[in-house]
Structure 1
Amino acid sequence: MNNTKMTKARLLGTSTLVAAVLGVSFGASMASANAQSGATDAQVLNLDAGNLRASLDQVAAQFGLQLIVQGDLSGLQGQSVSGELDATQAFSVLLAGSGHNFEFITEDSVRVFPVAAHGSENSVTLPNVVVSATRSRRSISSMSPTVVVIGREQIEAQLAKTSDVTNVIRNSVPGFMFDDQSLIGSTETFRGRDVQVLVDGISRNTPLRNSSRILSMIDVAQIESIEVIPGSNAMNGDGATGATINIITKTGEAGTNTFSVDGHVKAFTDDVGDSLAPSLTLAGSGGIGAVDYAASVTGAKSNNFYDGYGNQVPSDAMLGQGGFDNAEDLNVFGKAGLTLADGHRLFLSTEVVRFRQNIEYYPDLSTDPISVNYDAPYNAQPIEDESQYFTAGYEYDFGKLGVGDLKLFYNDSYKQAARAEYHSTYNFALVALADSPSTEDPLGQSVIDTLKTGVKLSTDTPLDMVYDGMSLSWGGDLTFDDVKYRTISGRDIGAPMEQDGKAVFAQVSAPVTQYLDLSGGVRYEKYDLTVSDFTRPNYMRYVGGVGQTYFGTAAFTGGDASYSAVTYNASAVVHWTDKIDTSLSYSEGFSVPDVGAYTRRAGLTGIPLNFADIDVEASKVKTYELAARYAGTDFRTTGAVYMSTNERGDNFDTATSELSQEKERILGAELTAEYDISEDTFVGALASYVEGRYDTNEDGDLDSWLPNNRIPSPFRFTGYVDSYVWDDLNMRFDGTYTAPRSKIDDAKIDSSLVFNLSAHYPVLGGTARLGVENIFDASYENPAASALRGYSVAGHGRTIMMGFRREF
């Protein structure tokens, strides 16, 4: 794009931004002028005690009110409401004892907000949120202050500018690395280590051959809350060396039937017409009698993306991993439950994902940053993701025996990569035809096809007879993994693998006094892995544009192996006052190495052709953490310092395409803070520091810094201000800075600074949203993307998102 075109594009983008803001403001003013009355008229209500948010929605709908929720209502229960009441009386009864209050900000809209956050009380009421990712259903107040539950209200507050689950988490929790703005999750590290992703307690990770696309494929419309537990943790199996993220999906409630329509359109201001990306979600939940249900369908389509330089973003900047541009996405979610008796419920949930990216051009790796090569149209198969997930379960309450659940799951995923052009440094070998070793296989793109099934049992048994308030959480897992790593044509490029897993665990928790909570547990895990024989295909390369044989086929000999691990955890939480908590914790987690990556490279320099000769062991990580929390009337903050160590870390060398395992140590610190300037405005910040070293020559000394693909940036800071202006118009301004990293010679990662804006306004019985990402259209290097491949990748430019949501 020449300078004239770029100037016109930026002028058009700025004009569009101004027009959008004026349009939303005008629409909001008209809606306010046409506000309806009726809140003062008494109506007959009959609501049983239950989920507070659902009850509030029902009352608001009955009185024709728009409900605006500030704060997190997750886990809170509302009082029963019956009789002939007006809206003010109904809300007063519902919110009694919840730690929240309400106010009418127009005739047809009411705002619910935390009492402590607005200075109307001297003490703080913390919701009794239960965290299920620990397998022990513990109250969040008895856990480390670094544990975070992101409620639906917090999620919806971010939907004005992003529908990506990864960004929602990153904007809410320190320690999560900057988004690489692609489909993959290889750079989604937490505290410099791997993240285990669960959906309703069922793992989505595929450790034997990491497919990476996990969080990017989860539809935010199906999420009720997100639990984030920083640090290593083995309670849900392997993979959680840096953190556990548990996505809790929505569940319907009998008598509160709702239907919603949510749509938005997003565009880059550098070229609005060629970047329009519409999305539409239809969702519903509720129940009749003993049956409850929740469902959603989301369809989305995107076009070109642009960076802060005004240039089109390459569709496949990460060489085979793809992105979100020029894509079609469909996500279908459903959950149904049947209550058999009080405390006993059967349920079935499913999620179906269909994603396709139609790449137009190959990237040009010779430019800085990389760019679109318009002289090289993409001539291969698209990127695809066809996955389906099913979970069936039984929730039970057997009194003194305990409360728990039994889950059976079936995860089937097919993830097809893009074709990446030959490059002498970054992609130096391509799959060749079996009968023509100097000719590239036109169907040589890789496919990871995984099947994961299993059973999970978790039970909380009260031990009040031993000590008042003590409980024992116990259970076990049986899992089966089947992994096939092939080309589209069906040729194995990695060894087919099957793995059986068995595990048992026990966790004891007790409030020793009103000031001290103690917890400790142990888990034993054993995996039996079978790696099949296969013929690694022949590879070719291009020299001067002419195909040449590179290296021939090789017979790989498989074998059997067993991994086992005993992991422990212990924590102590001290409640000094009703506002100050501190915690000291120790936890262990482990991960099974990406065996599929080894077998794909079998026969290359330093990588054996016999599985028995591959020295790969499970990596156990130990995390030590000291944390504190202060929850005052107008000021809230949490802080933590931590250290994590392991004897056999997993580090991928991009220069040699080899995986190595060495001793390593990571140190870090995290801080969150929020201050109420007034009852309508608050400011806050998230900050994290992380750095690590490892032993490259295996002499026991930590002699080198961890590579950039593990730690792209040592420091990240996010600051924000959230305010209600013009009565019920909520606006949020935030900015994120990532520090540069120059620990690795000749591989410096530059800093980045991006500002964003979002707004919500009740209109036409629903909520209008406006979001702007990268307000100033800053040109910057994406630290995570650049770190992964070793070349510069530009970050996304300014986007505008306009949306509307209405419940019925």
Structure 2
Amino acid sequence: MIELEPIIVTGARTERPVSRTPATVRVVERDEIEKQMQLTSNPSAIISRLIPGYSVSNQTISGASETYRGRDLLVMLDGVPLNTPLRDVSRILALIDLNTVERIEFVSGASSLYGSGATGGTVNFITKKATDGKPIVRINTALRAFTANVGDSLQPEISASITGKAENGPDYVFVGSGRFADKTYDGAGRELPSDGMLGQGGGDRFESGNLFGKLGYDLDLGKRFEVSANWIYLNQDPEWMTTYLPPFARPDFTRPYEGKSVLEDSKQISARYTDDDFALGSLKAVAFFNDVRKRFNYSEFDLNYNNVVYYSGNLGDPTSPFNQTDLSNQRGGVNLTVDSPLDRLYDGMRLTWGADIIHEKTSQVTTEGRDTFNPMSMMTYAAFGQLEAPVTERLTVRGGMRYEYFDLTVDDFVRPAAFLGFPGLGYAVLPDLPVAGGEFDYSAPTFNLGGTFDLTETSQIFGGFSQGYALPDVGSFTRRAGAMSTPQILFFGCFLPPGPLPPVPFNCAKNLTTSFDQISPEAQIVNSYELGVRGSYDQFKGSLVGFVSTSEEGVTFDPATNSLSQQKEIVWGAEFQGEWAMTEAFSLGTFLAYREGRFDQNKDGEYDSWLPNNRIATPFRAVVYGDYRFDNGVVFHLEGEGWTGRNKAVNPAGLSYELEGDFLVNTSISAPLAGGTFYLGVQNLFDEDYANPTASSVRENAALGTLEVHGWGRTVSLGYAKTF
């Protein structure tokens, strides 16, 4: 019999069984993580094959256009959010070191329990716990390569960890990992570009490292103090610029890369205190500080697919040599959570309550040091309460509220001059534009209510309503000041007719100003509705769920015009996930996922258009897999992952951009060897040549269609892991 009850999750900010959680929950344990790491070490690629609601991975260091149920995913490490709400860049998920992770918890649907950002769902990477007694050392090495060119595509990886506990002293976990990558290739053996998605960074020519440490001390029975630190470093050195010409993005071997390297230098530190014997129940207090630095790719003007760049002052070569930016973000705060039993009022009732105080500041500058949006700082104050009560022996109800207040300070800045192109229509030069800041605030209560009903001892019906809260990438709006629409561009800039431009200096003489309060975006609240059934029977376990999410102030980015807009949206879908242990040696599993969405493009109150492909690139996805364990310890894994294409009208006029579906096969085999485990993994076994749907959705053109970014061809991984 497969049991669900022992699985405990932290999605409600305190530990609760999955069987009492009124939402779709998926827990990925360490053995499943290690099985997938035999194929790749990229967390987003692994998650895309394990979690039905997640997008197909774009196979780079960035998470651009990767969504969860068509919306944003809040990423946490040990309950501490890693997102940067004021400038929501996407390079987070792919850089997490899975060698530090013991389990991954996913809670689907909008939520505000951990703050802003979880409009689609929440993922929490829970790091390894210390082992008792003497030090235990684990080494994990891998060598990966593309079969199209093994010698030029080698990707070595190594990780070493040590964990233990001193007698009557602290316990500890230390992990150090390094990854290196060379060239990457598609299924036809062609080298892939270093920047196929324009400014996001690729999956090639980088070196990266991760250092993680955790020290803990049990002060007394039920009391514990713990500190942890994590450092992520990555440096990518592209060799060639990228050509953005149909039919697909590719390296331009005639133009060496002209910018600085792509860089990630991010540090997180946290301290936590827990007390299970606190007077009001159990107490958890967490203090954290994140220091994030990200540098993006240098890119040049392209009329069809990169039609907005910072302006050099010369029409013949309009791209500024400083058309590359660095993001700096510091975010720190304190989270307090108390879990109080209320048995004196009602048997089995519990109240989880607490407060958060967070300070954040962020800025983004060109490589010459000019601000590209208003530097901002923000204080967040929040309080929440979550009540859970068993109404009957079978029915448990949970509901709560969170109130969040954002106090935002926006500094003055001058948006650098920009150059824009419109195929067939002409060009525009936008001069430097002073943007006045000010003091602003956002606030809103968010609510949730749901329940679980036990059908049997091992199965439940669950469902409910929940809300999530997010600021819609404030920095992205101010970065586009004066260029958010055609009327704005004509007002703030100088129009130039189509045709060849002379190689002469030109400056637009308009002397205008604007202010943040004229362009400030509205806060986004997402309403999520979900109904499902989950459980186990004999050797089967699985779940089936349907969901709908709505928002009055959704955020849509149009890659064809490089513009942002806010309007109401609706996303809906269904997911099935199941696993059948046919014998002790053989198991089968699958997930089927469908999602689709519409929005009010012309803001007339009606859903008149389908959400763009960078929100939903593959309406239907499926993964099917099988595992066989031989008596000698050898384990064979085979999986297939497939998705449908999409060709939906993204505006009332019927404009659409076609993406194609595909099906890939992956396999791995592991065997005990010399006290450790040897493994061989193959991704894209049949070397399928395909366009990656998530990456291809980033740049689209009304006349030329979708610019394809091809997916990875066949890769082979050889690895060995051993514990001493």
Provide the residue aligned with 2:516 in structure 1: 611
1:541 Cα shift?
Answer: 7.2
CA deviation string 1:97-156 (max 9, x = no partner): xxxxxxxxxxxxxxxxxxx3xxxxxxx433523212321321112114620111111111
Provide the residue aligned with 2:525 in structure 1: 620
Structure 2 CA distance for aligned equivalents of residues 541 and 528 of structure 1: 34
Match of 1:648, SS? strand
Confirm whether residue 131 of structure 1 aligns to residue 47 of structure 2. no
Provide the residue aligned with 2:330 in structure 1: 451
Provide the residue aligned with 2:680 in structure 1: 770
C-alpha contact (below 8 Å) 1:145/1:629 kept by paired residues: no
1:578 Cα shift?
Answer: 1.6
Alignment of 1:774-793 (within 5 A): 774-790=684-700, 791-793=707-709
C-alpha contact (below 8 Å) 1:296/1:334 kept by paired residues: yes
Provide the residue aligned with 2:228 in structure 1: 349
Provide the residue aligned with 2:498 in structure 1: none
Provide the residue aligned with 1:466 in structure 2: 345
Structure 1 residue runs of 5 or longer lacking an equivalent are: 1-115, 117-123
Confirm whether residue 754 of structure 1 aligns to residue 664 of structure 2. yes
Provide the residue aligned with 1:9 in structure 2: none
Provide the residue aligned with 1:14 in structure 2: none
Structure showing greater radius of gyration is 1
Structure 2 CA distance for aligned equivalents of residues 256 and 171 of structure 1: 36
Confirm whether residue 652 of structure 1 aligns to residue 557 of structure 2. yes
Match of 1:154, SS? helix
CA deviation string 1:496-542 (max 9, x = no partner): 01111000000011233331221111100010111111011123579
Provide the residue aligned with 1:676 in structure 2: 581
Structure 1 CA distance for aligned equivalents of residues 180 and 75 of structure 2: 25
Task: Determine which of 425, 430, 442 is the counterpart of 1:563.
Answer: 442
C-alpha contact (below 8 Å) 1:438/1:541 kept by paired residues: no
Task: Determine which of 133, 150, 160 is the counterpart of 2:28.
Answer: 150
Provide the residue aligned with 1:713 in structure 2: 618
| Aligned length in residues | 683
C-alpha contact (below 8 Å) 2:572/2:595 kept by paired residues: yes
Structure 2 residue runs of 5 or longer lacking an equivalent are: 489-512, 650-654, 701-706
Match of 1:444, SS? coil
Structure 2 CA distance for aligned equivalents of residues 373 and 429 of structure 1: 20
With normalisation by structure 1, the TM-score equals 0.82
Structure 2 CA distance for aligned equivalents of residues 457 and 188 of structure 1: 31
1:428 Cα shift?
Answer: 2.4
Match of 1:391, SS? strand
> For residue 732 of structure 1, what is the amino acid of its counterpart?
H
C-alpha contact (below 8 Å) 2:560/2:699 kept by paired residues: no
1:615 Cα shift?
Answer: 4.8
1:489 Cα shift?
Answer: 1.7
Alignment of 1:257-272 (within 5 A): 257-272=135-150
Confirm whether residue 308 of structure 1 aligns to residue 224 of structure 2. no
1:597 Cα shift?
Answer: 1.0
Match of 2:47, SS? helix
Confirm whether residue 333 of structure 1 aligns to residue 238 of structure 2. no
Alignment of 1:341-490 (within 5 A): 341-432=220-311, 440-490=319-369
C-alpha contact (below 8 Å) 2:4/2:458 kept by paired residues: no
> For residue 251 of structure 1, what is the amino acid of its counterpart?
K
Structure 2 CA distance for aligned equivalents of residues 172 and 475 of structure 1: 32
> For residue 72 of structure 2, what is the amino acid of its counterpart?
D
Task: Determine which of 722, 725, 728 is the counterpart of 2:630.
Answer: 725
Structure 2 CA distance for aligned equivalents of residues 458 and 129 of structure 1: 21
Structure 2 CA distance for aligned equivalents of residues 508 and 170 of structure 1: 33
Confirm whether residue 734 of structure 1 aligns to residue 632 of structure 2. no
C-alpha contact (below 8 Å) 1:400/1:462 kept by paired residues: no
Structure 1 CA distance for aligned equivalents of residues 153 and 677 of structure 2: 24
1:805 Cα shift?
Answer: 0.4
Structure 2 CA distance for aligned equivalents of residues 623 and 511 of structure 1: 23
> For residue 759 of structure 1, what is the amino acid of its counterpart?
I
Provide the residue aligned with 2:593 in structure 1: 688
> For residue 646 of structure 1, what is the amino acid of its counterpart?
S
Structure 2 CA distance for aligned equivalents of residues 756 and 582 of structure 1: 34
C-alpha contact (below 8 Å) 2:23/2:109 kept by paired residues: no
1:404 Cα shift?
Answer: 2.4
Task: Determine which of 392, 415, 424 is the counterpart of 1:536.
Answer: 415
CA deviation string 1:205-226 (max 9, x = no partner): 1121112111111100111111
1:431 Cα shift?
Answer: 2.4
C-alpha contact (below 8 Å) 1:261/1:805 kept by paired residues: yes
Match of 1:398, SS? strand
C-alpha contact (below 8 Å) 1:437/1:538 kept by paired residues: no
1:166 Cα shift?
Answer: 1.4
C-alpha contact (below 8 Å) 2:648/2:656 kept by paired residues: no
Provide the residue aligned with 1:172 in structure 2: 50
- Do the aligned partners of residues 761 and 271 (structure 1) sit closer, same or farther apart at CA in structure 2, a change above 3 Å counting? same
Structure 2 CA distance for aligned equivalents of residues 446 and 486 of structure 1: 5
Provide the residue aligned with 1:801 in structure 2: 717
1:438 Cα shift?
Answer: 6.9
1:433 Cα shift?
Answer: 5.4
> For residue 276 of structure 1, what is the amino acid of its counterpart?
L
Structure 2 CA distance for aligned equivalents of residues 761 and 167 of structure 1: 24
Match of 2:112, SS? coil
1:405 Cα shift?
Answer: 1.2
> For residue 525 of structure 2, what is the amino acid of its counterpart?
K
Structure 1 CA distance for aligned equivalents of residues 623 and 659 of structure 2: 19
C-alpha contact (below 8 Å) 1:197/1:245 kept by paired residues: yes
Structure 2 CA distance for aligned equivalents of residues 367 and 704 of structure 1: 26
> For residue 755 of structure 1, what is the amino acid of its counterpart?
V
CA deviation string 1:585-616 (max 9, x = no partner): 11100110111111111122545821111251
CA deviation string 1:685-721 (max 9, x = no partner): 1110001111122222111111111110110000111
> For residue 542 of structure 2, what is the amino acid of its counterpart?
T
> For residue 669 of structure 1, what is the amino acid of its counterpart?
A
> For residue 796 of structure 1, what is the amino acid of its counterpart?
W
Structure 2 CA distance for aligned equivalents of residues 316 and 181 of structure 1: 12
- Do the aligned partners of residues 711 and 456 (structure 1) sit closer, same or farther apart at CA in structure 2, a change above 3 Å counting? same
- Do the aligned partners of residues 468 and 400 (structure 1) sit closer, same or farther apart at CA in structure 2, a change above 3 Å counting? farther
Provide the residue aligned with 1:80 in structure 2: none
Confirm whether residue 228 of structure 1 aligns to residue 228 of structure 2. no
C-alpha contact (below 8 Å) 2:308/2:562 kept by paired residues: no
Q: Report % sequence identity.
A: 37
Structure 2 CA distance for aligned equivalents of residues 605 and 242 of structure 1: 26
- Do the aligned partners of residues 501 and 280 (structure 1) sit closer, same or farther apart at CA in structure 2, a change above 3 Å counting? same
Structure 2 CA distance for aligned equivalents of residues 481 and 284 of structure 1: 34
Q: Kindly indicate which of the two structures has a greater share of residues assigned to helix.
A: 1
1:460 Cα shift?
Answer: 0.6
> For residue 723 of structure 2, what is the amino acid of its counterpart?
E
Structure 2 CA distance for aligned equivalents of residues 498 and 314 of structure 1: 36
- Do the aligned partners of residues 616 and 806 (structure 1) sit closer, same or farther apart at CA in structure 2, a change above 3 Å counting? same
Confirm whether residue 206 of structure 1 aligns to residue 81 of structure 2. no
1:743 Cα shift?
Answer: 0.6
With normalisation by structure 2, the TM-score equals 0.91
Task: Determine which of 451, 463, 473 is the counterpart of 1:584.
Answer: 463
Match of 1:352, SS? strand
> For residue 330 of structure 1, what is the amino acid of its counterpart?
G
C-alpha contact (below 8 Å) 1:478/1:503 kept by paired residues: yes
Structure 1 CA distance for aligned equivalents of residues 631 and 146 of structure 2: 28
Match of 1:567, SS? strand
C-alpha contact (below 8 Å) 2:3/2:536 kept by paired residues: no
C-alpha contact (below 8 Å) 2:3/2:458 kept by paired residues: no
> For residue 302 of structure 2, what is the amino acid of its counterpart?
H
Alignment of 1:27-42 (within 5 A): none
1:580 Cα shift?
Answer: 2.3
Across the aligned residues of Structure 1 and Structure 2, the Cα RMSD in angstroms comes to: 2.0
C-alpha contact (below 8 Å) 1:179/1:187 kept by paired residues: no
Structure 2 CA distance for aligned equivalents of residues 470 and 540 of structure 1: 61
C-alpha contact (below 8 Å) 1:254/1:290 kept by paired residues: no
1:726 Cα shift?
Answer: 5.8
C-alpha contact (below 8 Å) 2:87/2:476 kept by paired residues: yes
CA deviation string 1:231-283 (max 9, x = no partner): 00000111101000011111213326311111000000000000000001010
